Structure 1
Amino acid sequence: MKRLLAIELQKIWKNRASKVLTIGYFVILSFIALIAAIKFDIGIFKFHLAEMGIFNFPYIWHFNTFIAAFLKIFLAVIIVSMMANEYSYGTLKQNLIDGMSKKELILSKFLTIVLFAGISTVFVFIMSLLLGFGFSSYTEIGIVFSDLEYLLAYFVKLLGFFSLCLFLGILIKRSAFALGSLFIWFIFEMITYGISLNQIKNTALVDKVYDFFPLMSMWNLIKEPITRLSSVKNLQEAVGENSIKDYDVHFSSLLIVLVWTAIFVYSSYIIIKKRDL
């Protein structure tokens, strides 16, 4: 496995665009810390995000993983390009000639995906710890290390999304078209979801059905955290909105995304296995 992973990492690091995107991803990811610097003082109106409690433990695990998940598109481009370059440069065929089996080929790609998701999760974990101990009002160990399931959800979310990108990269062969297909599928899910809500008039039923769709299932792993803030809740109560929202990470949601991950990886293998390379 180390040999397969080393081969893939060498390909990525020797590609200038992939190298820049990888470094840029982690640099931009670290910019989450700059949110603490957002502060407005206009007369009696004062707005300071850090003072609103977004970096309080354990809320920070929810907030940071939710925000960091938006940046996964950077690594998605690398993964899609990784497959497109295999076809463009003929390295896919060369690897098979050199003795690598098609199963090992897919395994090497999947190991790279797991590594990217793992490193990203560890990075968010360390960054959140530093921000939390710097700004949180609660630093008791029991509070600090509660709600860590958001990190697990973040890892699974990246794993599922990157597996989808791998599948599209293998299926379509061209990075631009593969990313375009990903965007089209996102639009398809959003439009059909809206139409279903309008036609069925049963939000709970529609949500349960769309929980099984690929991108929607990944989105549902980490619910938006903004309305969980006490200041936002107080504002909602002031205007008469007392909606109760479930922010927890559920095992069923994790399982759905893991099943999609397995489907995408296995489908990628089937395509490679049957395709004349």
Structure 2
Amino acid sequence: MKRLLSIELQKIWKNRASRILTITYFLLLTFLSFIASIKFDIGPIHIRLADQGIFDFPFIWHFNTFIAAFLKIFLAVIIVSMMANEYSYGTLKQNLIDGMSKKEFIISKVYTIIAFAAVSTLFVFIVSLILGLVFSSYDEMSIIFSKMDYLFAYFIKLIGFFSFCLFIGVLIKRSAFALGFLFMWFMFEMISYAIAYNNFRNPALIDKIYDYFPLMSMWSLVPQPFTKLNAVRTIGSQLGVEDLRNYDVPYTSVVIVLVWATLFIYASYKIIEKRDL
């Protein structure tokens, strides 16, 4: 494991673009603290996010994992480019000549995916813990370390998304086209969902069906947290709107995403196994 992971990390770190994207990604994660200074108005109501309890425990685990998930596109570019470079620079063929099997090659990519997801999750945990200890109104240990299943959901979300990126990179071989395909698939799920949701008589059934789609299942792992904010609840109560959403981590989605990740990794291996390199 250590040897295979070391080989992959060296490839990434020696590539200037991948190195810059990795550093940028983790720098942006540290900028979560600047969210505290954001202010905006909703009619006569003036909202400063820092005053809405976004850094209070345990809400911070929910809020930060949701926001941090948007930054995963930086690592997605790295993973797609990682596969494209294997073909462009001939490192895949050279690895096989040097004695690495095709199975070990895919396993090395899986180790890299897990490492990126684990380090990202740990980083979000550290940043959130520091921000919470500084800004949160609660300091009881039982409250601080409650609702941390959002971090687990975030980790699974990254595993699923990066596995999808690996599959696309293996399938298409060119990073620009692979990223284009990723965007087109995203648009397909969003647009088809909107059409189906607004034109069929049973929206709840549409939601259940799309929960099995790759990106939709990943999205649902960490529900949006904004309607839990004090200001939004205040506006809702003034309008007579009751919030009945379930904000818990949907563990059915965890299973679905893990199944998709397994299928993507297996499909990547079968493509490499059968492809004439």
User: TM over 0.5: same fold?
Assistant: yes
Answer whether contact 2:220 2:250 (CA < 8 A) is retained: no
Q: Deviations over 1:247-273 (max 9, x none)?
A: 100221100000000000000000000
CA distance in 2, matches of 1:259, 1:174: 26
CA distance in 2, matches of 1:198, 1:144: 40
**Residue in 2 aligned with 1:36?**
36
**Residue in 2 aligned with 1:121?**
121
CA distance in 1, matches of 2:243, 2:47: 25
CA distance in 1, matches of 2:39, 2:188: 38
**Residue in 2 aligned with 1:20?**
20
Answer whether contact 2:35 2:49 (CA < 8 A) is retained: yes
Q: Deviations over 1:98-154 (max 9, x none)?
A: 000000000000100000000000000000000001111111000000000000000
1:29 Cα deviation after fit: 1.2
CA distance in 2, matches of 1:61, 1:161: 20
Supply the RMSD in Å over aligned alpha carbons.
1.3
TM-score by length of 2: 0.97
Which of 237-246 and 137-146 deviates more? Answer: 237-246
1:201 Cα deviation after fit: 2.1
What amino acid is the match of 1:274?
Answer: K
1:46 Cα deviation after fit: 4.6
**Residue in 2 aligned with 1:197?**
197
CA distance in 2, matches of 1:177, 1:196: 28
What percent of counterpart residues are identical?
66
**Residue in 1 aligned with 2:252?**
252
**Secondary structure of the structure 2 residue equivalent to 1:47:** strand
Structure 2 alignment gaps of length 5 or more? none
CA distance in 1, matches of 2:57, 2:28: 23
CA distance in 1, matches of 2:176, 2:39: 39
**Secondary structure of the structure 2 residue equivalent to 1:70:** helix
CA distance in 2, matches of 1:275, 1:259: 24
The 3 A distance-change label for structure 1 pair 225 and 45 is closer
Q: Deviations over 1:139-172 (max 9, x none)?
A: 1000000000000000000000000000000000
Answer whether contact 2:47 2:231 (CA < 8 A) is retained: no
CA distance in 1, matches of 2:40, 2:227: 21
**Residue in 1 aligned with 2:187?**
187
**Residue in 1 aligned with 2:238?**
238
**Residue in 2 aligned with 1:59?**
59
CA distance in 2, matches of 1:245, 1:229: 13
Matches within 5 A, 1:1-277: 1-39=1-39, 46-277=46-277
The 3 A distance-change label for structure 1 pair 10 and 90 is same
1:229 Cα deviation after fit: 1.7
1:38 Cα deviation after fit: 2.6
The 3 A distance-change label for structure 1 pair 45 and 200 is closer
**Secondary structure of the structure 1 residue equivalent to 2:273:** helix
1:45 Cα deviation after fit: 6.3
The 3 A distance-change label for structure 1 pair 201 and 116 is same
TM-score by length of 1: 0.97
What amino acid is the match of 1:102?
Answer: K
CA distance in 1, matches of 2:101, 2:143: 48
CA distance in 1, matches of 2:96, 2:256: 33
What amino acid is the match of 1:28?
Answer: L
CA distance in 2, matches of 1:201, 1:182: 30
